[in-house]
Each structure stands twice: as structure tokens, then as C-alpha cells.
């Protein structure tokens, strides 16, 4: 690919990524409440007035309005800006990192990141893992299996199997041994679908990173909240972040690690 197209598409993927982030905000807000995600314009959660099209420009509008609704002046959460910004960065990074290796991997990686961002925040806000996002991630995985050669089909299938066995086993194990759900069924479904997108090496890497980080953060939180008795925390923010890091770096880092032993 010529460097001209590479650069032009990098800028475009940043812009489209921010728009996808704007849609991600809609998904995060509406899916758990059962509101249609395609019908009806966006509205201010406070005064319910429809948001004008010129106030709906990703990132820019939030900055220009200084994070307040134009009508009721109520604060609009920084989260809206943050999700749009993350989405723009992830889409652009996916293009820059992978477009020269596999355009399919780059493009479906963008969609994968968008779906993962959505599930991270629906789980964080409402402890809700939408099945349709899992199906969407699984479809991304199937398309990648059929069309991408950056990661082999076998690696993807083994990635899915690994995640299913590891998280499904943890789910059953905690239910039988601890008599409570250590993780939700949504977590198992999410990781199984993600495993198909990531392949075996990145699945392993994402699992390792997210479980270690979750163990540290959750034990600190449990210590802080010891008196309030809060025992259940959303797990997908950890798993999803691990998957996004795994998508970008998993394959390379695991190969680097293995080469230390094999001497490749």
C-alpha cells in the first residue's frame, strides 16, 4: 500500500472511530434499558431535549460546550468524550499497526474494539452483558477465520476452545466449590467469542493480563469496601481491556517470550 493511502486512511479511521465511539455511547446507554438503538435521535439524559445535529459532533461538541447541555446547562459526563476518544485512538491504531499486514484484521479489529468497549461499559454501569454484542463479536471472529491469514484458523479455534474451557471451568468450579458464581455466564460467553477473534496466543495473553490485574484491583477494592459487604464487581472491564491489549500486542509478545526459550 502506498504511504499516501496509508496516511489518508489513518486519518479517516480516526474520524470514523470517533463516530463509532459516539454510537458506542448510544449502545451503552440504550441497550440495558431496552430502548431501540436505531430509532430516535439522541437526547439529553437530564432535560430529555433532542440534541441538535451540530451539537452531536464526536469529541468536538463536548469540548465546545465544555461538557454541558446547551439547553439545561446540566453537566454531561466526561465519559461520553472519553469513549469517543478511546474509540478514535483504537480505530486509528488498528489501521496503523495492521493495515500493511492484513487489511481484514485491521478493519475487523476496529469493529471488535467497538463491541468490546460497549460490553466493558454496559457491564460496568449495569452489570449487563448484551447477547447481541457477543453475537457480533462471534461474527467478527467467523469472518476473520474465513478471510484473515495474519492468525491461522486453527489458532483462532484453539483460542475459542481455551477461553471456553478456562472460563467455563472457572464458572462451574466456583459454583460447585464456593457455592456462588465467581464469574457470570456473560463473562464466559464474552471470552469464548473473543477467543475466536484473538487466536490462541493472544487469548492466553489477554486472560493472563486481565486475571492478574483483576486480582490486584479487586483485592484492594474488597479491602476498602470490607464493611459495606459489597462482594460482586463487574469482571468484563478487566477482561475487555485485556482483550484489547491482546489484540494489539498478544501475538507479538507471546512470540517474543517463546523465542527466549526456543532461541528463535
- Closest distance between Zn ion and the C-beta of residue 43, in Å? 8
Comparing CB distances to Zn ion, the nearer of 69 and 92 is 69
Question: What is the CB neighbour count within 10 angstroms for residue 89?
Answer: 15
**What minimum distance in Å lies between the beta carbon of 61 and Zn ion?**
13
Q: How far is CA 217 from CA 212, 223, 230, 241, 250, in A?
A: 9, 10, 14, 14, 22
Inter-residue contact 91 to 58 (CB < 8 Å):
no
Q: Which is nearer to Zn ion, 46 or 104 (CB)?
A: 46
Helix (H, G, I), strand (E, B) or coil at 124: helix
Which phi and psi (to 5°) does residue 50 adopt?
A: -65, 145
For the bound state, the minimum distance from the C-beta of residue 209 to Zn ion, rounded and expressed in Å, comes to 39
Least distance between Zn ion and beta carbon 47 (Å): 3
Distance CA(42)–CA(70), nearest Å, equals: 14
Nearest in space to 98 (alpha carbons), one of 80, 112, 79: 112
Q: Which three cell numbers stand for residue 151?
A: 492468525
Binding site for Zn ion (CB under 5 A): 44, 46-47, 69, 71-72
* CB nearer to Zn ion: pick between 45 and 173: 45
Instruction: Name the residue nearer to Zn ion (CB basis): 67 or 182.
Output: 67
CB neighbours of 263 closer than 8 A, spacing ≥ 6?
none
Closest CB to Zn ion among residues 11, 72:
72
Minimum CB distance to Zn ion, residue 76 (Å): 8
**Nearer CB in complex with Zn ion: 49/175:** 49
Q: Are 96 and 2 in contact (CB under 8 A)?
A: no
What's the min distance (Å) between Cβ of 248 and Zn ion? 37
Exposed/middle/buried for residue 22 (C-beta within 10 Å: 0-12, 13-18, 19+): buried
Amino acid at each position: 500500500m502506498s504511504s499516501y493511502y496509508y496516511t489518508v486512511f489513518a486519518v479517516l479511521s480516526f474520524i470514523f472511530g470517533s463516530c463509532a465511539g459516539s454510537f458506542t455511547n448510544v449502545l451503552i446507554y440504550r441497550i440495558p434499558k431496552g430502548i431501540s438503538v436505531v430509532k430516535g435521535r439522541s437526547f439529553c439524559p437530564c432535560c430529555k431535549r433532542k440534541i441538535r445535529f451540530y451539537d452531536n459532533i464526536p469529541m468536538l461538541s463536548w469540548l465546545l460546550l465544555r461538557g454541558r447541555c446547551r439547553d439545561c446547562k446540566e453537566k454531561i459526563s466526561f465519559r461520553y468524550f472519553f469513549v469517543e476518544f478511546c474509540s478514535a485512538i483504537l480505530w486509528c491504531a488498528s489501521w496503523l499497526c495492521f493495515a500493511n499486514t492484513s487489511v481484514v484484521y485491521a478493519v475487523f479489529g476496529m469493529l471488535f474494539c467497538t463491541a468490546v468497549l460497549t460490553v466493558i461499559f454496559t457491564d460496568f454501569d449495569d452489570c449487563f452483558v448484551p447477547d447481541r454484542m457477543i453475537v457480533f463479536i462471534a461474527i467478527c471472529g467467523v469472518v476473520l477465520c474465513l478471510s484473515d491469514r495474519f492468525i491461522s484458523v486453527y489458532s483462532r479455534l484453539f483460542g475459542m476452545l481455551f477461553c471456553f474451557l478456562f472460563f467455563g471451568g472457572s464458572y462451574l468450579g466456583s459454583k460447585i466449590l464456593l457455592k456462588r458464581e465467581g464469574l457470570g455466564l456473560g463473562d464466559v460467553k464474552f471470552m469464548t467469542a473473543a477467543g475466536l477473534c484473538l487466536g490462541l496466543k493472544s487469548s492466553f495473553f489477554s486472560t493472563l493480563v486481565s486475571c492478574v490485574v483483576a486480582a490486584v484491583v479487586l483485592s484492594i477494592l474488597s479491602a476498602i469496601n470490607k464493611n459495606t459487604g459489597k462482594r460482586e464487581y463487574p469482571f468484563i472491564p478487566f477482561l475487555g481491556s485485556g482483550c484489547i491489549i491482546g489484540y494489539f500486542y498478544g501475538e507479538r509478545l507471546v512470540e517474543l517470550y517463546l523465542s527466549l526459550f526456543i532461541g528463535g
